[in-house]
Structure 1
Amino acid sequence: MRLKVISCKVLTRELGYLSADCPNVLDISWLRQGYHDNPELLHSILQECIDKIDSGDDPFSCSRTVGAFDAIVLGYGLCSNGICGVQSKRYPIVVPRAHDCITLFLGSKERYRELFEQTGGGAFWYTPGWIENSLVPSQDTHAKKLSEYIETYGEDNAEYLMQLEETWMKGYKDVAYVQMPNISYPDYRGYARDCSDYLGWDYHEYKGDDALLRDLIGGNWDNERFLVIPPNHTCEQSYDEAIVKIKE
């Protein structure tokens, strides 16, 4: 198959590695991390990308031929409902049954649920892609933002603004690092441990599983793990173990 993949950049290393061994022809477009913080913006950008693929006017595609692909694959989970409502007029869209990208690193929604319950939802997940493409909680991130605020608002206001901005971090108590098997990339476990020391959070390390990502691009789309959305249809949150469903 020829697949058009649209993915968040936090999956760059994993999908890049797996694509080399994939039996399908992949055309991958990367979107910068962070759009899930604004679900409406994520939806808008995804739909714009899909519309251009439908019309054969995708500037990032290897092919500008209408009908060049067998399916569009999204390297996203539900991501705060950011994928809900997107549709293609021409191609089926394949999405993994996942609340967010951490499921893709752990290999299944069942494993994600198990660890979510084990940590009480208090774990902030660290992976190489997250560390490289986002401002994860760390001493470096704090220093960078504080410097920017001092320059913009002055030193008296900067510390107060930082306290307000970092209020959300009080809901977390663990640094959870995912070590993917069989993939050679920079080892950020030391960095993650340093982050846990700085934050005063406990450090935990979990073995990743590439099965879900491998089958996502490999075309092994069983209904238990993937939702295939037909052309001119869209998806919505299912509010059950399936996570996402076709919108009626």
Structure 2
Amino acid sequence: MTARPKLCVIACPSLRPELEQVAAETGAGISIHYLEMALHSRSAEALREALQTAIDTTTGCDTIAVGYGLCNRGIIGIAARDIPLVLPRAHDCIGLLLGSTARYLDELDREPGTYFQSAGWLKAAREAGESGEFTFGPNSNASFERLAARYGDEAARYLIQELEGFTKHYKRLAYVTTPVEGSSALASEARSIAAKRGLEYHGLHGDTGWLCRLLSGPWPEEEFLTVRPGQQVRLASGERLIEAA
């Protein structure tokens, strides 16, 4: 019997509940490393640097799966060193939770001003806040008082204005329920956030099939990009989103 290739995963903590469940179901002892949730509030360069550092220090596996979507182009420019990379052709983590890019785009067509949430997003944001990090979006923990205590009053006023500008275009909060423990229960928290921000609440049923394929393969070209050692991720036109060069 041919040995199954050993997989290491570098992922966004917003996907932790689903990835942990899928990994347990595969029974393959997959190693998963989660980056900081706060990277979502920083520049694309910050995410790119953190991803590349994680890739460069990962050893002992045959393939590295990257559990991120395009994510503000933060994956553009990352390179495979000695180990091939596999990346989903997703716009962001929510597309992975919905099971397809087509479904993700359908929801945005229905309401472009949609802010998506899931159990993993809510839990990761809460943990980030408890560790002193700031989270942004409709469920932001960045109050004027907290910002002023760290950065001073002038900077805090500027950051609050930026936050308000960032969130004012949202019309709907869509909570994605997935088949993981606690996902349905956290829908009430999402409803509260929507009510607090004056947003329409909408529930969506998630689909972890795409994440299952990321962890178990095969990796069909229409859903995944394989980056060979020496290649780099580039932006691609159309539905492909990314390519290797």
The TM-score range, normalised by the shorter chain, is 0.7 to 0.9
Shift of 1:138: 4.9
Shift of 1:146: 2.5
| TM-score, normalization by structure 1 | 0.85
**CA shift in 2, pair 1:192/1:220, >3 Å:** same
**CA shift in 2, pair 1:157/1:48, >3 Å:** closer
Q: Distance in 2 between matches of 1:150 and 1:170?
A: 22
**CA shift in 2, pair 1:136/1:194, >3 Å:** farther
Shift of 1:131: 1.1
Kindly indicate whether residue 106 of structure 2 is the aligned counterpart of residue 114 of structure 1. Answer: yes
SS at 2:72 equivalent: coil
Q: Could you tell me which of 28, 51, 55 is aligned with 1:50?
A: 55
Q: Could you tell me which of 98, 102, 119 is aligned with 1:128?
A: 119
Match of 2:8 in 1: 4
Amino acid paired to 2:9 = V
Range that drifts further, 188-197 or 36-45: 36-45
Q: Distance in 2 between matches of 1:20 and 1:170?
A: 40
Q: Distance in 2 between matches of 1:137 and 1:108?
A: 23
Q: Is the 8 A contact 2:8 2:32 kept in 1?
A: yes
Q: Distance in 2 between matches of 1:72 and 1:104?
A: 17
Q: Distance in 1 between matches of 2:223 and 2:115?
A: 24
Match of 2:91 in 1: 99
Q: Is the 8 A contact 2:8 2:31 kept in 1?
A: yes
Q: Distance in 2 between matches of 1:137 and 1:87?
A: 30
Q: Is the 8 A contact 1:96 1:216 kept in 2?
A: yes
Q: Is the 8 A contact 2:136 2:163 kept in 1?
A: no
Shift of 1:193: 0.9
**CA shift in 2, pair 1:192/1:70, >3 Å:** same
Q: Is the 8 A contact 2:137 2:166 kept in 1?
A: no
Gaps of 5+ in 2: 126-134
Q: Distance in 2 between matches of 1:88 and 1:24?
A: 23
Q: Structure 2 matches for 1:23-34, cutoff 5 A?
A: 23-34=27-38
Match of 1:64 in 2: none
Amino acid paired to 2:85 = I
Shift of 1:22: 1.2
Match of 2:65 in 1: 73
Q: Is the 8 A contact 2:8 2:64 kept in 1?
A: yes
Shift of 1:158: 5.7
Deviations 1:142-193 (A, max 9, x none): 5x52221454545x9966752443211111110110011x322252111111
Q: Is the 8 A contact 1:126 1:178 kept in 2?
A: yes
SS at 1:195 equivalent: helix
RMSD: 2.1
Deviations 1:63-121 (A, max 9, x none): xxxxx3110000000111111121222111000000111111100111111111111x2
The share of aligned pairs that are identical, in percent, is 31
- Tell me which stretches of 4 or more aligned residues in structure 1 moved more than 2 Å: 134-139, 149-154, 156-165
